[in-house]
Structure 1
Amino acid sequence: MDWKIELIFVPVTDVDRAKEFYTRIGFHADIDASPSQDVRFVQLTPPGSACSIAIGEGLGSDVPPGTLDVIQVVVADADAALAQLRAVGVDAEGVEELDWGRFVSFRDPDGNRWALQELVPYD
């Protein structure tokens, strides 16, 4: 039986600000629905990913905004990812060279930390 991670909740304080940030860095806005006055569900997917993130209001999460550290995403080229983030005004850090990959990191407007990993050949 396959186990697939397909949705990760990312806690934010301002849904519109977070949605603008994530779409600016290239995520696709899949869903933005408000089934009631107390609930808003926004699903965004990074380009090429089978896993999406969810942000919103009234979703029942007790995770405080800005506390996720680290969501890790694999990219083909860390240098290109860093350049893309900086081109749209994101204060990204990198490229950090480690034995298990090349890394770029950034935070969303709430402080949730992301790491982008370029895989390196393993001997």
Structure 2
Amino acid sequence: MNPTAAVAETATGTATTNTDLKVEALVIPVADVDRSKNFYQDLGWRLDADFRFDNGFRVVQLTPPGSPASVQFGTKITSQRPGTAEGIYLVVTDIAAARRRLAALGADVSDVFHPKVAGGQFGRIADGRADGPAGDRASYGSFATFRDPDGNSFLIQEVTSRIRGRVDPGATEFASHSDLVGALERAAVAHGEHEARNGGEHDQNWPEWYAAYMVAEQHGDDLPQ
């Protein structure tokens, strides 16, 4: 028996499986709480909490736009040295637009880059970066980076379609208005190509085709033609 299920059965008398374990918050170490709070709020991140206690403990939580997970920092919240958090992924559907937006809000964002790859898109990643987005804007392939005032680093990654199996097959969700707009725009381009392949006639069933395309793209399934 699975150990987790065994523990649940012992505690309740009934075996349970597939308990949701949702990543809700990541703790990042900072030196100046108010400076960090202002920095992230200036980037448009939602302030969820700022709790102070008599023993000196303080926790601040902010959430990036459209994100299901948040970041936390404060005093007496971690023993990590300020600035040592690395490689926190921020996933976007348009890397160029995200970079422009963050730069306009005051973040020192790198230029867009993609890894040097040997042997094709999913081949061995060689050392170094190549300028600009990945060829054909391949999903998972384009990046930019920025750091907060302490040096904690964030990696922005463009993901427009998921590898099959990485999304809950029972749910299709768009985290923000811009994500939904991007999905609709890609579906519109693909649908135009679909109509062209079929003699250029208007497709009366376009809402169903759009929906099928957007669901398949997000889940990593075969796209309708």
TM-score by length of 2: 0.51
Whole-angstrom CA distance in 2 between matches of 1:66 and 1:111 = 4
Check whether the contact 2:42–2:106 (CA below 8 A) recurs between aligned residues.
no
SS at match of 1:56: strand
Aligned length: 122
Q: In the alignment, what sits opposite 1:13?
A: 31
Structure 1 residues 65-111: Cα deviation after superposition (integer angstroms, max 9, x where no partner) = 10111101111111011101111222100211244321110000000
Q: In the alignment, what sits opposite 1:34?
A: 52
Whole-angstrom CA distance in 2 between matches of 1:51 and 1:70 = 15
Q: Which has the larger radius of gyration?
A: 2
Q: In the alignment, what sits opposite 1:53?
A: 71
Indicate yes or no: 2:119 matched with 1:102: no
Unaligned 5+ runs, structure 2: 1-18, 116-120, 122-139, 164-219, 221-225
Q: How far did 1:22 drift?
A: 0.5
Whole-angstrom CA distance in 2 between matches of 1:89 and 1:52 = 20
TM-score by length of 1: 0.91
Q: How far did 1:31 drift?
A: 0.4
Letter in 2 for 1:64: R
Whole-angstrom CA distance in 2 between matches of 1:47 and 1:85 = 12
Whole-angstrom CA distance in 1 between matches of 2:70 and 2:24 = 6
Please state which structure has a larger fraction of its residues in helix.
Answer: 2
Q: Using CA pairs below 8 Å that are at least 6 residues apart, which structure has the higher relative contact order?
A: 1
SS at match of 1:84: helix
Identical residues among aligned pairs (%)? 42
Whole-angstrom CA distance in 2 between matches of 1:80 and 1:36 = 43
Q: In the alignment, what sits opposite 2:80?
A: 63
Letter in 2 for 1:80: A
Letter in 1 for 2:91: V
Q: How far did 1:120 drift?
A: 5.0
